[in-house]
Amino acid sequence: MTTPLRIGFIPLVDAAALIVAVDRGFAAAEGLDVTLVREVSWSNVRDKLNIGLFDAAHLLAPVAIASSLGIGHVRVPIVAPFNLGLNGNAITVSSALHAAIMEELDGDRFDPMATALALARVVAKRRRNGAELLTFGMTFPFSTHNYQLRFWMAAGGVDPDEDVRLVVLPPPYMVDSLASGHVDAFCVGAPWNSVAVDSGVGHILHFVADILVRAVEKVLALRQDWSEKNPDVRAALIRAHIRAAEFIEAPQNRPEVARILARPERIGVDASVIQRTLDGRMKISPDGTTRESSRYLLVGREGAARPDPVQAAWLYAQMVRWGQTALRPEALKTATGVFRPDLYDAASARPENPVHASDAIGAFAGPAFDPNDIQGHLAAFRIGHWKA
C-alpha cells in the first residue's frame, strides 16, 4: 500500500533532492506515491502548503520561519526536517552595472567587501548625476536572496532601503527582467544566473559562498500538525531525500541527475547548465570566463542536509535587522524550533554528527555569529532598521 502525497516546488536546482527522490524511485521505495507540482512563485507554494493543498513543499528557509511566527501572513507553524540545499545562490548584474563596478573596484573582484565598496561609489556617483536608483531583483521579502543582497550591500555602506530599490520577482522571470532593463541586477538560485550569462545579458558577480560560507537555502517544509499526525510518512520522506542527496553528490551520477532536472516538467533548461551548477564549475561572464567553487551548492555533503538551528537563528536575526519583526526571546525560540535535526536523526539509519565550527555561518563581514547574542550581532552593524 502506498501513501499519495502532493509536493510543490519551484524550478531551481536546489529542488534536486526532491525531484530525484521522486523520479529516481527513492520515494516509491519508501511506499510514497508523490505527485510533484511545479509552481512559479513562492507565495503560491507557501499558501498551498499552509491550506493543505500540498502535503510538503520545497520552500525558502526564511518563509518556513516567517510562517511559524505569523510575520507577513497568517501564522501556520512549519517544521523543516531536511535541508534541500546550502548555498546555491549568486548575484548577477547587467553588463552596464558590471562595467561600472569594475571601474570603481579597488581590490580583488571576487572579494565581496571590495565589490560592496565599489557599489557604494557607483551609487554615490549616480546620485550626484541625478540618475535613477539601481534596481535589484530578489525572490521574496522573506528570502535568503533578500538578506544576502542586503548583507553584502550594507557592508560597503549602501543602505538597501534608501540607496537602491529591491523588488520581488519569481525566479523564472529574473533573466527577462534583466534583459529588458527592468532590473540592474538580481540574486537568485541556479540555474537562472547561468541562464543570464549564457543569454549574454548578465555577469555573475558573486556566489553566495563568497558572502556566507554556509547559508541554508531551501528546506523540505511540512505543516507541524501534518508532521505530528503522520510520523511514519514523515520519516519515509526524509529517508527518500537522504538517499537522493547521496545519489546526487556522487560525481558519476551527475550527468543522469542533470538530465532528470532538465526535463520540461521539472526545471526545463539545458542539462549542461544544470551539471555546471552541480559540479560548481560556473561560467560567470558572456565571454566564457569560468570560476570553480567546491561550495557553490551543497546538497548532501558536509552535513548539508541536516537542519541546523543556528542557521534559523541567523535568518531570524536578519528579519530583525531589516525591520520585519522585533527582537523577542520567545520568537527566537520559535524560529530555531522550525529546524528539526532531531527528526532528521530519528529517520536516518546513519545519524550524522552535527557540523561544529567556531562560526556556523562564516559571513565575510562582522563578528562570528553567536545565536545566543542576537542583540550583539545587530549592534555590530551600522546599517539596519531593527526594532529594540
114 burial level (CB within 10 Å; 0-12, 13-18, 19+)? middle
Total Cβ atoms within 10 A of residue 259: 14
Higher-confidence residue of 9 and 350: namely: 9
Is residue 355's pLDDT more than 80? Answer: no
Give how many domains the chain has, as a whole number: 2
pLDDT of 256: 98
pLDDT in tens, 46-90: 999 999 999 999 999 999 999 999 998 899 999 999 999 999 999
Lowest mean pLDDT segment, chosen from 92-96, 189-193, 203-207: 189-193
pLDDT of 356: 53
pLDDT in tens, 8-61: 999 999 999 999 999 999 999 999 999 999 998 999 999 999 999 999 999 999
- Tell me, yes or no, whether 20 and 148 share the same domain: no
Q: Using CA atoms, how far apart are residues 273 and 95, in angstroms rounded to an integer?
A: 20
Tell me if 238 is assigned to some domain. yes
Q: Using CA atoms, how far apart are residues 210 and 230, in angstroms rounded to an integer?
A: 39
Tell me if 296 is assigned to some domain. no
pLDDT of 354: 59
- Using alpha carbons, select from 214, 185, 217 the residue that is nearest to residue 201: 185
- Tell me, yes or no, whether 61 and 78 share the same domain: yes
Is residue 227's pLDDT more than 90? Answer: yes
pLDDT of 382: 94
- What is the SS3 assignment for 383? coil
Q: Using CA atoms, how far apart are residues 216 and 177, in angstroms rounded to an integer?
A: 26
Residue type, 157: G
The per-type count for the chain, helices as H runs and strands as E runs, is 18, 13
pLDDT of 1: 78
What is the domain extent for residue 239?
A: 3-85+217-267+302-379
Of 195, 211, 227, the last residue of a domain is 211
Q: Is the distance from CB of 98 to CB of 203 less than 8 angstroms? A: yes
Is residue 351's pLDDT more than 90? Answer: no
- Tell me, yes or no, whether 98 and 187 share the same domain: yes
Mean pLDDT of the chain: 95
pLDDT of 39: 96
The domain that holds 111 is classified in CATH as 3.40.190.10
Is residue 350's pLDDT more than 80? Answer: no
